[in-house]
Chain A
Amino acid sequence: MKDRLEALRVEAIEKIKQSHDLKDLQAVKVAYLGKKGPITEVLKGMGKLSAEERPVIGAYANEVRDSIQVELDQKQKELEEAAIAEKLAKETIDVSLPGRPVKKGNAHPLTAVVTEIEDLFLSMGFTIAEGPEVETDYYNFEALNLPKGHPARDMQDSFFITEDILLRTQTSPVQARTMEKHEGQGPVKIISPGKVYRRDNDDATHSHQFMQIEGLVVDQNVRLSDLKGVLETFAKKMFGEDRKIRLRPSFFPFTEPSVEMDISCFKCSGKGCSICKQTGWIEILGAGMVHPNVLEMAGFDSKKFTGFAFGMGPERIAMLKYGIDDIRHFYANDIRFLKQFKNA
C-alpha cells in the first residue's frame, strides 16, 4: 500500500510537472486529490489494514497528499506567474512611439522680453503705467520739452492724424500724464511699456511700429548715481551677473544731463566681436535726469524734486538676447519663428 501511495505521488508529481496550464493542473488536482481520486481510494481501503499499519499508512497518505498539494501550489503559482507574464507580454507597447501632444502655444518673443523686464522692475518696487497710443501733441512733445518747431522733433518723424493728434512716437507721454496725476507730490516710480510709431521705412533695423519701455522715478533727492544703481541691477539681471555698465553723455530733450548706457558685451566679454562691433560695449538704452522744464510743466517744483528717466527698445534687447538679425521677424509672425520661443 505504501508502494502504491509512493507510486501515486511520483505519478502525480510527474503529471503536475507536465501541466501546461491551470486547466491541466486543475485536472491533475481533481484526478489525484479529488474525492474520487486514487488517494481517497487508497484511504478507503485502510479498513483492511492492521491497527499498527493503519496510522502509519494514514500518516503516509497524508504526507503524500500534502506533498502533492505543495507541488500543485508551487506549479499553480508558476503557471499563474507565467500566465500573467504572457498576458503582460502581449500587452507590451512601443514606448519609443511619440506621446499624445498637449496643445500649447506660447508668448510672442517681444511679450516675453517685456514681461521679463516688467517683472524685474516690479521686484524693485516699480508699478506699470499705461496710456493711449493715439496721443495729443501736448503730451507727446510739448510736455516733454519739445515745443513746436524744436529741431529734435525732426529726430522722430511722426504719424500725425490731425495737427494736434498723432500716434505716439515714444512712451514718454505716459510719464508726463503720470506726473501730472501726482500733482506735484512724490514719489513717482513707474515703468511704461507699450507700442510706439514713427515714420520709418520698414527694413532690417527699422520698423514703423515698435515697442518701448520707459522708466521714471521722481522724488526728493533722486541722483544720477541712483540711476546708475538701478540700471546696473537691470543689466545684471537681464544680461548676466558679470555685466559691467558704462554711462556716456548724450542728448535727449526731456533729460539733462542725458546719458546712454552701454553694457560690456555678453558674447565676447569685452574683447571685441561682431555683436559689439569690436568695441566690447553694446548700447542698450538712453536715460538721464528729468529736465527741470518737464518737471515744472507736470506740476513739480524742480528745486525740490529731481528724477531720472530711462527708455529702451524691447526689439533691440530681444534681438541681442536671441541673436535675431532682422526686426521684421517680430511682425511677420511666421509660426516657425514664434514656436522657437517656447522657453523664452
Chain B
Amino acid sequence: MLISYNWLKEYVNIEISPSELADKITKSGIEVEMVESLNKGISGVVVGYVQECIQHPNADKLKVCKVDIGQGEISQIVCGAPNVAEGQKVAVAVPGAVLPGNFKIKKAKLRGEESLGMICSLQELGVDTKLVPKEYSSGIFVMPSDAEPGNDALEYLNLNDHVLELGLTPNRADCLNVLGVAYEVAAIIEEEVKLPDTSITATEEKAEDFISVSIESLEDNPYYGAMIIRDVKIGPSPLWMQNRLMASGIRPINNIVDITNYVLLEYGQPLHAFDYNRLGSKEIVVRRATEGEKIQTLDDQDRTLKDTHLVITNGKEPIAVAGVMGGATSEVQDDTTNVLLEAAYFTSGRVRAASKDLGLRSEASSRYEKGIDRNRVYAAAKRAAGLMVELAGGKVADGIVEAGKREVNTYSVKMDVSRMNNLLGTSISSEQTSAIFDRLGFSYKESDGIFEVTVPTRRPDITIEADLIEEVGRIYGYDRIPTTYLLSEARPGGLTASQAKRRRIRSYLEGAGLYQAVTYALTTPEKSTHFSYTEDTVYPISVAHPMSEERSTLRMSLLPQLLEVLQYNQNRSMGDLAVYEMGSVFINRQEILSDLPEEYVFVSGAVTGVFNEHLWQGERKAADFYVLKGILEGLMSELNLSERITYESGGIEHMHPGRTAIVKLDGIPVGFVGQLHPALQKELDLKDTYVFELNATSLINAETEQMVYQTLPRYPSITRDIALVVDQNLPAGDLFTVIQAAGGELLKEVNLFDLYQGEKMEEGKKSLAFSLKYFDPERTLTDEEVVTAHNRVLKSLEEHFGAQLRK
C-alpha cells in the first residue's frame, strides 16, 4: 500500500518528518518498507506560460517557444513535444535546474536556435509512465491555467511529497486506505483523526424514482446501495486529485472515475460508477452468474463466467462482475451525464472466486478479498457523491436506494490487565491501558482491571483477548518490554541417540573425503523411480500443481539428484568429485495416497574421477568400487555394525550388473554400492562413477551393544600365511567366512594380502593369499595348537571349495 505523506496530513496533525513517521509506524507494527521522495533530486523547475510557439526554422519536429517564467522574464526554449502550444502553463526546468538522475539543465543551442531550459513532461520529472494521464503520456504535462508563472512547479505537481510503502500483514486490511492509516498514525503519535466532509445537498428528485435494487442472496452480497448523480460534466479531475492518485500508484482517467478511485483510496471502499443512461433498464439485480454467461468488461475483453461468480445485472444481463470489474456497455464515457454510483459490500469468497478465475486483480477486488469495513460503505458513497457535485458539477438525487443491511452491530472483547502483564512480562497499569485504548479510538468499560472493549468495525482482526493484549503492547512499545529468562525448571537439552548417530555419519563421511550436498526433494516422475531396490510395488508421489515437470515428483532415492550435482560440476570442468547427501526419501505403497507415505533418511554418495592424488609424487588413484566399499566398511565400523553387514553381488536397475553389491544388515537389504551402469553413464555424459545408497534410518535403528573394553594381549600371537588356488569366480567373501568358522576361538584376525589372477595361473583359477593371526589372551600358544587349528582351516577350505595350497 502506497500512502502519500501530504494526503495523510489532511486527516492527522503530523509534525514529524516522513522518515521519523515511518520509523514510528514500523516500530508499532506496520512495516514501512520504503519511504520514497517524489522529488527525486529535482530543483529549479518553475511554472512557465507559453506566450508564443512557432515552428523551428531548421527542424521539423521542434518548436521554438517564448516562455514567461515569472517576474516578466521571457525565455526562448526549444521544445520537441508534439503537444506544446501557445497559452499553456507548463513546467520549465530553467538553466541550472536539476532533473532526476542528477541531469543538469544548461543553456544550449538546438539546430541553431538558443534554448534557455526545457519544458518538462511528467516522466522527465520522475513520474512512472504508466501513471501519467494518457493525454500527456507522449508529451509535456499541461498545468491548470491558474498556475502562477515563476512559482515552484513541484508544489503544483505535489512532487515535494513523500510516499510511504506499507508492507501489510493480512490482518491489517484496515490500513489499505488513507483513513485507516490515519487512525493508526493518530494512535501512535497521540493525535485525533479529522474525518472528511460527507455532507451532501440533494435535489428534489428521488433516487428511487430512477432505480430499484434487489439482491438474490444476502449471503453473497449483504448490502448494495445505489446513488444517482445527474448532469455531471466529464473532464479531467483537478490536479491535486490527479497528483494524489499518481502518488498512490493509480493513473488518472477522468473526474468521475478518479473520484471513485480517490474514495477507494481514502475509505478503502470500492465504488463503481455506471453510465445511468446506458444501463439498459431501471433496475439493478445482483445474482450469481449462470454457467457460461458472457460479459465484455471495461478492458474490452470478453469474459465467460461461472456460477460461483457474482454479477450485477440490469435485470436481464450482467453489467459488471461484482467487486472485480465493470462491463463495457455501461462504462462512463466522455458524453456521460447521469451516473449510478454503486457502493456495496460483497463477500470476499465471491470476489476471490471471480478474480482468480478471470485473472483480474484490481484495487477493488483485492480490498473485497481482504475484507472491508462494513459500516463505512454509506459514508464512502456520500463522500463520492459530494465530490461529484463539487468537481463534476453533478446534482445528487435524494437518498440511497438500498438492499440488505447498511450497518452491522459492533461486538466487545474482554481483557484482563493482570493476564496481559503475565503474558507480556510487563507491569502496565489500568490507567496506562485506558490511555492506550483512547489513543486507538476503542471505546471500553473498565472495572477492577477488566476491560470490556467495543471493537470498531474497521478492526475485524480483533476477536480475542490476546488481540487486545497485542494492541496495548505494541502501542506501549515492545522496546519497553523487559528482557527476562525462563522461570521453568532447568532440564538438560541434548540430541537423541538417532540424531547423534546422524551427525556421526555425516562427520565420518566428510572425514572420508566426501563433500555434503543438499539437493531438491522434487524431481521428474521418471527419475523418481530410479535406483529403487525394494521389491514391493511402489507408486511415485507427484504434487498436484508442480511449478515444472523437473520438480514434480518426490524422490525415492537421493542418487538421481546427486548425479545431477556431478553433471553440473563436470560441465564446469570439475571432474574429480566426491559428494554425499543425507536426506529424506518418500516411499508410497498405496495406489491412492490416503495415509502419509513412509519417510526414511537415506545417506548416499557419488564419486567420480581421481579420488586420491599427490601430483608431484605421481600418485593419481581413480575412484573405484573398493574405494567406496572401503568408505562403507569404515562407516559400518563407526556404527558398530561391521559384524552384521554383508555385501552380496546383486542387480539394481541402472547399476553395473557385475560391479554392484547389495548391502545387507542381518541379511536384510539396506542399500547398495557399485558402479553406475555404463549406459546411464553415457546418457548422463559422466565418466566412471561409483555410488552408494544406504537407508540410514535402518542403520541407525539397529540396536547395538554397548562397547566393552578388551584386555590388551599379554602373550605373543602367531601368524601363518596361506596362498590358495581356487575357482576364479569364487567370491573372496566366502573364503573369509569358511576360514573364520574353521579357525575357531584362537583365530583372531584374517587379512587378504594378495590376489593374483594372471597368465601364470591355470585357466579359470585365481590365487588368494591370506594372513591368519592366532592368539590366546590367557597364555602363550603352542605350535601344536596352531598347527591343529591351521590344518582345520586348510581342510575346511579344501572341502568347501576344493581350494589347494599354491605351490
Contact = CB atoms under 8 A, between A and B. Distances in A.
A142 to B, nearest CB: 15
Interface in A95-121: 97-98, 100-101, 103-108, 110-111, 115, 121
Given A199-B547, A257-B470, A127 B494 contact: yes
Interface string A64-102: 000000000000000000000000000000000110110
A195 B584 contact: yes
28 contacts: A103-B512, A103-B578, A106-B515, A115-B503, A124-B493, A128-B499, A132-B596, A151-B170, A155-B170, A161-B542, A165-B596, A166-B543, A189-B493, A197-B522, A201-B547, A208-B520, A208-B551, A209-B520, A224-B481, A225-B426, A247-B478, A251-B171, A256-B467, A289-B466, A292-B464, A333-B517, A334-B569, A335-B574
Interface in A133-153: 133-136, 149, 151-152
A201 B490 CA distance: 44
B210 interface: no
B424 A223 contact: yes
Contact of B466 (A124, A160, A223, A256): A256
B511 interface: yes
B519 A331 contact: yes
B119 to A, nearest CB: 35
A50 interface: no
A227 B467 CA distance: 18
Interface string A192-209: 000101011100000011
A241 B31 CA distance: 27
B431 to A, nearest CB: 21
A249 interface: yes
Given A306-B423, A334-B572, A249 B28 contact: yes
B486 A229 contact: yes
Contacts of B467: 256
Given A201-B547, A292-B466, A306-B422, 8 more contacts: A105-B580, A134-B597, A208-B520, A208-B547, A224-B424, A250-B169, A333-B565, A338-B516
Interface stretch (A8-16, A19-27, A30-38, A214-222): A214-222
Interface in B137-170: 169-170
Contacts of A217: 486, 488
Contacts of A124: 493
A136 B422 CA distance: 34
A127 B493 contact: yes
Contact of B474 (A130, A166, A257, A292): A257
B521 A133 contact: yes
Q: Which 5 A/B pairs are nearest by Cβ-Cβ distance?
A: A225-B425, A249-B29, A103-B513, A251-B169, A257-B470
A111 B506 contact: yes
Contacts of A101: 613-614
Nearest to A100: B614
Given A103-B513, A162-B544, A149 B493 contact: no
Nearest to A139: B596
Nearest to B520: A209
A105 B169 contact: no
B721 to A, nearest CB: 30
A39 interface: no
Nearest to B472: A257
B709 interface: no
B191 interface: no
A123 interface: yes
A161 B613 CA distance: 47
A104 to B, nearest CB: 6
B545 A199 contact: yes
A248 to B, nearest CB: 6
A186 B596 contact: no
Contacts of A186: 488
Contact of A125 (B493, B568, B613): B493
Nearest to B27: A248
B299 interface: no
Contacts of A260: 31
Nearest to B507: A107
B474 A167 contact: no
A232 interface: yes
A98 B543 contact: no
B495 A128 contact: yes
B349 interface: yes
Max chain B Cβ within 10 angstroms of own Cβ: one of A161, A162, A230, A331: A161
A152 B547 CA distance: 21
A186 B487 CA distance: 13
Contacts of B357: none
Nearest to B490: A125
A229 B499 contact: no
B551 A221 contact: no
Interface in A274-308: 289, 291-292, 306
Contacts of B503: 115
A335 B565 CA distance: 9
Nearest to B586: A134
Interface string B634-649: 0000000000000000
A273 interface: no
Contacts of A165: 593, 596
B484 A122 contact: no
A257 B543 CA distance: 34
Given A134-B586, A247-B479, A333-B565, A149 B349 contact: yes
Nearest to B551: A208
B422 A228 contact: no
B473 A249 contact: yes
A246 B425 contact: no
Contacts of A257: 424, 466, 469-470, 473-474
Contact of A133 (B169, B474, B499, B599): B599
Given A151-B369, A257-B474, A339-B515, A126 B614 contact: no
A149 B170 CA distance: 13
B607 to A, nearest CB: 11
Contacts of B510: 104-107
Nearest to B30: A249
Given A134-B541, A248-B29, A289-B423, A333 B519 contact: yes
A332 interface: yes
Interface in B591-621: 593-594, 596-597, 599, 611-614, 616-617
Nearest to A155: B170
Nearest to A152: B170
B482 interface: yes
Nearest to A252: B169
Contacts of B520: 208-209, 331
Interface string A228-241: 11101000000000
A44 interface: no
Nearest to A99: B614
B481 A161 contact: no
Interface centre among B467, B489, B521 (most CB of A within 10 A): B521
A268 to B, nearest CB: 17
Contacts of A48: none
A266 interface: no
Contact of A132 (B425, B509, B599): B599
B464 A256 contact: yes
For A125, A221, A226, A256, which residue has the most chain B Cβ atoms within 10 angstroms?
A: A256
B546 interface: yes
B600 to A, nearest CB: 11
A228 B169 contact: no
B473 A122 contact: no
Given A103-B512, A103-B513, A336 B574 contact: yes
Contacts of A291: 466
B423 A224 contact: yes
A58 interface: no
Contact of B511 (A98, A104, A162, A199): A104
A104 B515 CA distance: 8
A232 B482 CA distance: 11
B544 A160 contact: yes
A333 B31 CA distance: 35
A166 B597 CA distance: 11
